[in-house]
């Protein structure tokens, strides 16, 4: 094995779990020096956790990391930086009130005797800013820059460290077409000069246009690694999704409630949404799909009354948009938020307290009595019905596993018998067993005459559970896929580009023959 063949970074059997949630089960990866290496996978595949471990932000529970063939301890971001690893985070980590220069040189300001030299900062950053095409006032606070410009500043900051390994996690999520092209030109340029790049994305067309090698991940494991020339986009998608687990999704139940209520939205628009049309009947499960920023979360927020929008809306009770979440809760519209720990639960309170959130919190006047025994009865009913695994209703929400926490969030709403269910990624960070139970619950909601809007980032979920899927792209409905057997490839293409694939029919037929 020659020196050139020694991987710059090797990851061996890495594992990481958060409480009861497995983020990385067993991940191995070799990154060769001077290459652009892409890591792709669905949400929850473990890509971001892997990058955070390499950046020294998160410590793994098991496995080892080799740098230049030597075992390395990446215990902190400083240690990672010493090894020449630089990372551009998905979330911006800039100081909005401080100037561009101050952000570029944070914590390593050049100067002498403790006096910072603005001149040295200007000189040192001029070249890199020019190459990135960032023509901004370097003394202006970051807050005045557009999101795209800020993302480039973030990249410039890391490039100034001259890393040997540059990690990019969805670096162009806020960049427009021209900025993205420029970014890619720069990445190719620095790669030819010897910098190794690890590139995380789920925009496959882009991955194929810039990377040399690609590693596919799924459920916290690396599925396979290929030279980019040896694979095609459909093959990569196949690897990302894996074999279909039909048994995960229970079949639809017969309708139990007769009332044919309807829910309709016409031309819903605000700054994030551009004319959304949507109708749903009682008993339907409607999927909502879209990238970050496509408007899915905004649509749910509007329908729940936390965001404003204009449009013609009719809820099953005949009213328009809820004025506030309180209004929504009183009218039987419920939201299961994506971030349940932050937005769904009071973690330091008991299950009993949490299940009372809506029924005692939103309903009735302030002087009404809060009866512990009634609250206990309600909690016991939901614990039994949803099979929440707990030692007692007095256990704190914090003590529960992710799946059981989510059941508490659902249970608090079931207590008021809602008519419209807005579910925002309800199975995020939940193990497979709990996922199956939540899917069964969604079937129950529909069978009881509920209208279910189900937003998810996991394609198998959408295709396995929904009667129809609405794909949002940049604030509008890019397409609607109807019928039970949705085609994952068409869906993924629609989500990522906002367009129906040109040869959708053909590839779909071919795939069906293959299986």
Partner 1 sequence: MSETSPPASATPATPARRFRMPDEIGVIVALVVLMIFIGVARPRFLNPLNLLTLLGHTTFLGMLAVGMVFLLAIREIDLSVGWMFNLSAVVTALLMVAGVNPWLAAFIGILFGALLGLFNGALAVILRLPAIIVTLGTYSMFQGLSLVVDNSRAVVPQDQTSSFFTFASAKIGKIMPVTGAVFLVLAIAMHYVLHRTRFGYRVQAVGSNPEAAALAGISNATVRLQTLVLMGAICGLSGALYVGFRGAIDPNEGSDFVLAVVAAVIIGGTPLSGGSGTVIGAVIGMLIIQVISSGLIFFGIDATWSTFVTGAVIVIAVSLDQLVKYQRNRRAERLKAGR
Choose between 120 and 447: whose C-beta lies nearer to partner 1: 447
Q: How far is the CB of 448 from partner 1 (least distance, A)?
A: 9
Q: How far is the CB of 306 from partner 1 (least distance, A)?
A: 7
Pair 291, 272: CB distance under 8 Å: no
User: What span, in angstroms and rounded, lies between the C-alpha atoms of 294 and 456?
Assistant: 13
Q: How far is the CB of 52 from partner 1 (least distance, A)?
A: 20
Choose between 222 and 424: whose C-beta lies nearer to partner 1: 424
Choose between 194 and 258: whose C-beta lies nearer to partner 1: 258
Choose between 174 and 328: whose C-beta lies nearer to partner 1: 328
- Which residues share a beta bridge with 116? 111
Choose between 175 and 358: whose C-beta lies nearer to partner 1: 358
Q: How far is the CB of 308 from partner 1 (least distance, A)?
A: 15
Structure tokens given for 3: 């020196």
Pair 434, 464: CB distance under 8 Å: no
What is the DSSP secondary-structure string of 2-27? Answer: -GGGS-SEEEEEEEEEETTEEEEEEE
Binding site for partner 1 (CB under 8 A): 19-20, 304, 306, 324-330, 335, 337, 342-349, 353, 356-358, 360-372, 376, 380, 383-385, 387-394, 396, 398-401, 412, 437, 440-441, 444
Q: How far is the CB of 15 from partner 1 (least distance, A)?
A: 15
User: What span, in angstroms and rounded, lies between the C-alpha atoms of 403 and 297?
Assistant: 21
Q: How far is the CB of 447 from partner 1 (least distance, A)?
A: 9
User: What span, in angstroms and rounded, lies between the C-alpha atoms of 152 and 174?
Assistant: 10
Choose between 176 and 371: whose C-beta lies nearer to partner 1: 371
Pair 61, 476: CB distance under 8 Å: no
Closest alpha carbon to 244 in 445, 486, 21: 486
Choose between 346 and 503: whose C-beta lies nearer to partner 1: 346
Q: How far is the CB of 312 from partner 1 (least distance, A)?
A: 24
Whose tokens are 């075992």? That residue is 71
Q: How far is the CB of 326 from partner 1 (least distance, A)?
A: 5
User: Measured between alpha carbons, how far is residue 16 from residues 20, 53, 428 in Å?
Assistant: 11, 9, 17
CA count, 13 A, side-chain hemisphere, 410: 29
Choose between 344 and 460: whose C-beta lies nearer to partner 1: 344
Helix locations, 132-276, DSSP H:
147-160, 177-192, 204-210, 233-241
- Hey, is 176 helix, strand or coil? coil
Closest alpha carbon to 427 in 464, 481, 395, 394: 464
Choose between 184 and 353: whose C-beta lies nearer to partner 1: 353
Helix locations, 31-95, DSSP H:
47-54, 77-82
Whose tokens are 């001029």? That residue is 126
Choose between 16 and 213: whose C-beta lies nearer to partner 1: 16
Q: How far is the CB of 383 from partner 1 (least distance, A)?
A: 6
Q: How far is the CB of 340 from partner 1 (least distance, A)?
A: 9
Q: How far is the CB of 415 from partner 1 (least distance, A)?
A: 11
Choose between 410 and 472: whose C-beta lies nearer to partner 1: 410
CA 26-29-33 angle, to 5 degrees, is 165
Choose between 263 and 304: whose C-beta lies nearer to partner 1: 304
User: What span, in angstroms and rounded, lies between the C-alpha atoms of 370 and 155?
Assistant: 53
Q: How far is the CB of 283 from partner 1 (least distance, A)?
A: 16
Pair 286, 293: CB distance under 8 Å: no
User: Measured between alpha carbons, how far is residue 437 from residues 6, 20, 91, 444, 454 in Å?
Assistant: 46, 17, 32, 11, 15
Q: How far is the CB of 421 from partner 1 (least distance, A)?
A: 14
User: What span, in angstroms and rounded, lies between the C-alpha atoms of 200 and 378?
Assistant: 45
Closest alpha carbon to 492 in 236, 246, 217: 236
User: What span, in angstroms and rounded, lies between the C-alpha atoms of 468 and 287?
Assistant: 6
The alpha carbon dihedral of 451, 457, 458, 462 has a sign of: positive
CA 426-430-39 angle, to 5 degrees, is 100
Pair 451, 282: CB distance under 8 Å: yes
Residue 340 is classified by DSSP as I
């Amino acid at each position: 094995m020659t020196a050139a063949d020694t991987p710059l970074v090797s990851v061996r059997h890495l594992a990481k779990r958060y409480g009861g949630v497995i983020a990385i089960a067993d991940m191995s990866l070799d990154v060769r020096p001077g290459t652009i290496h892409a890591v792709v996978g669905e949400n929850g595949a473990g890509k971001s956790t892997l990058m955070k471990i390499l950046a020294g932000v998160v410590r793994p529970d098991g496995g080892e990391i080799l740098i230049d063939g030597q075992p390395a301890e990446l215990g902190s971001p400083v240690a990672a930086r010493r090894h020449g690893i630089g990372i551009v985070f998905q979330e911006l980590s800039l100081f909005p009130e401080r100037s561009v220069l101050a952000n570029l040189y944070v914590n390593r300001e050049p100067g002498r005797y403790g006096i910072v030299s603005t001149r040295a900062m200007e000189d040192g950053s001029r070249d890199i800013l020019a190459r990135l095409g960032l023509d901004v006032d370097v003394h202006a606070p970051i807050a005045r820059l557009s999101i795209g410009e800020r993302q480039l500043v973030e990249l410039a900051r890391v490039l100034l460290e001259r890393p040997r390994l540059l990690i990019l996690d969805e670096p162009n999520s806020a960049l427009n077409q021209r900025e993205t092209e420029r970014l890619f030109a720069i990445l190719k340029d620095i790669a030819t000069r010897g910098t190794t790049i690890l590139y995380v994305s789920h925009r496959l067309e882009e991955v194929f246009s810039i990377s040399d090698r690609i590693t596919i991940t799924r459920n916290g494991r690396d599925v396979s690694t290929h030279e980019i020339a040896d694979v095609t986009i459909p093959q990569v998608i196949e690897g990302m999704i894996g074999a279909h687990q039909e048994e995960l999704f229970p079949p639809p139940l017969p309708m139990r409630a007769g009332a044919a209520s309807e829910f309709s939205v016409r031309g819903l628009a605000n700054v994030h949404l551009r004319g959304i049309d949507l109708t749903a009947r009682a008993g339907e499960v409607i999927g909502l799909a879209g990238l970050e920023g496509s408007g899915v979360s905004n649509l749910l927020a509007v329908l729940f009354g936390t965001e404003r929008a204009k449009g013609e809306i009719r809820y099953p009770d005949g009213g328009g948009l809820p004025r506030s979440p309180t209004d929504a809760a009183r009218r039987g519209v419920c939201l299961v938020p994506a971030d349940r720990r932050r937005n769904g639960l009071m973690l330091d309170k008991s299950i009993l307290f949490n299940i009372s959130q809506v029924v005692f919190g939103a309903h009735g006047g302030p002087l009404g009595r809060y009866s512990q025994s009634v609250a206990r009865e309600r909690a016991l009913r939901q614990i039994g019905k949803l099979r929440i695994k707990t030692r007692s209703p007095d256990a704190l929400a914090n003590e529960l596993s992710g799946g059981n926490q989510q059941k508490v969030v659902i249970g608090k709403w079931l207590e008021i018998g809602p008519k419209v269910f807005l579910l925002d990624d309800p199975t995020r960070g939940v193990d497979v067993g709990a996922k199956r139970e939540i899917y069964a619950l969604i079937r129950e909601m529909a069978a009881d005459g509920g209208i279910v809007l189900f937003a998810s980032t996991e394609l198998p979920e959408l295709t396995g559970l929904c009667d129809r899927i609405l794909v949002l792209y940049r604030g509008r409905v890019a397409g609607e896929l109807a019928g039970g057997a949705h085609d994952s490839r068409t869906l993924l293409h629609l989500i990522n580009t906002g367009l129906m694939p040109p040869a959708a029919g053909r590839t779909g037929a071919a795939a069906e023959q293959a299986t």
